Structure 1
Amino acid sequence: MSEMRDQLKVIATQQIRHKTLAAASFRELGKAAGIKSSSVHYHFKSRDALLLELVKDYHRDFFADLSQRCSEISSPRQRLSTLADVFCDSHAKQMQCLCQAYAAGIDSLNDEHRQASQAFFDELQHWVSDTLANARLLALPRDELAKVVVSALEGSLLLDRGEQEQQRLQATKAWLTTLSSL
């Protein structure tokens, strides 16, 4: 893979995570990389192809990072706290979850993009559900609670966007420790 192609993917990911899906136009990417938009076409067949590649890369990288961070953690409470830290780190960089941006721009996505971003949320819910497997005294079935946890983290990140403080994220992180006898 060429250096310019990699650079364009990094720029596109940052543009989307800092702004919206619309920020990843070939024109904007070319401008940010200092090349013509026609040169962006040389590296990517289409914007749809770029967006699909970005969401797949994000999915892979997110779970590689989460796996690495949790590699020696068995406590459900600590694992959920570490997951919350991933979201807090995104906020500290003034970035949203890439799949959150895809969900917000759902009308501009094709079925393949929707499926790829939904696969991310499904895996995240599955990860949370697996993490809760050894927890006791859950208020909801763990698969349902996993949906609530993911929604709370994604929603907190969205609502804290543009704020200096991570009020909602920190409240969500604190709430995660009260779920049960984790």
Structure 2
Amino acid sequence: MTERVDAILDAAENRIRRAGYNGFSFREIATDVGIKSASVHYHFPTKADLAAAVAKRYRERFEEAVAKNEAAGAGRVETWKTLFRDSLAEDNRMCLCGILAAEKEGVPEVVADEARQFFEMGVSSIAEVSKDNAENSLAYGLNILATLEGAMLLAQSMGDNTLFDLATANLK
């Protein structure tokens, strides 16, 4: 990707994570990046195209971070927990796809689909490390990811990131 496209995606991700899908405009993204709105439209013809690209990049970066942490010796669940916790600690933001999923009824299908792919990837990734049968592995993946998303939501809404640690302390 070009630097300009990356800057547009960064600005859009920041705005979506702060205010949701309906909380940004192309004009605001252009102002954030220091370009004209037409330049944003050149790379992303519609708001749905832009938000879907942001969600896809978010998923791909998350997958890369999981692989990198595991290569360094971290366990899968601990890695997911760390990545969620770091997001809260570093920029006090919710999971991008969690926000988009919460807005599912108000976002275009292509955007909701990208958010769904993030969750499918997450559940599958976590389920892979379960030593149980397929049905129990699926339940394990769902439980871990739901706990992480819920802990993030509680910590954010209550203004206390230590609540994330309390809510996820028993995840293994």
State the TM-score bracket (shorter-chain normalisation).
Answer: 0.7 to 0.9
| CA deviation map 1:12-70 (0-9, x unaligned) | 11111233222332121122223332332122111111111111111111110111011
Q: With structure 1 as the length reference, what TM-score do the two structures score?
A: 0.83
Q: Which amino acid aligns with 2:23?
A: A
Q: Kindly state the Cα deviation for residue 175 of structure 1 after the two structures are TM-superposed.
A: 1.3
In structure 2, relative to structure 1, the CA distance for the partners of 1:173 and 1:73 (3 Å cut) is farther
Q: How high is the sequence identity, in percent, across the aligned residues?
A: 26
Aligned to 2:164: 169
Shift of 1:107: 2.1
- Partner residue of 1:5? 5
Structure having greater relative contact order (Cα 8 Å, sep ≥ 6): 1
Which of the pair has more CA radius of gyration? 1
Choose between structure 1 and 2: higher helix proportion: 2
1:159 CA displacement:
1.5
Matched, 1:98 2:93: no
Task: Give the aligned CA root-mean-square deviation in angstroms.
Answer: 2.2
Q: How high is the TM-score relative to the length of structure 2? A: 0.87
Name which of 116, 124, 128 aligns with 1:126.
124
| 2:147/2:167 contact within 8 Å kept | yes
Q: How does 1:130-149 map onto structure 2 within 5 Å?
A: 130-133=128-131, 141-149=136-144
CA–CA distance in structure 2, aligned partners of residues 36 and 79 of structure 1: 42
Q: How far apart in 1 are the matches of 2:171 and 2:47?
A: 38
Residue of structure 2 in register with 1:160 after alignment: 155
Rounded to whole Å, the distance in 2 between the matches of 1:13 and 1:156 is 21
Aligned positions of 1:45-84 closer than 5 A = 45-73=45-73, 78-84=75-81
| Structure 1, unaligned runs of 5 or more | 178-182
> Structure 2 regions of 5+ residues with no counterpart?
none
Query: Which residue of the partner structure matches residue 36 of structure 2?
Result: 36
Q: Are residue 151 (structure 1) and residue 110 (structure 2) matched?
A: no
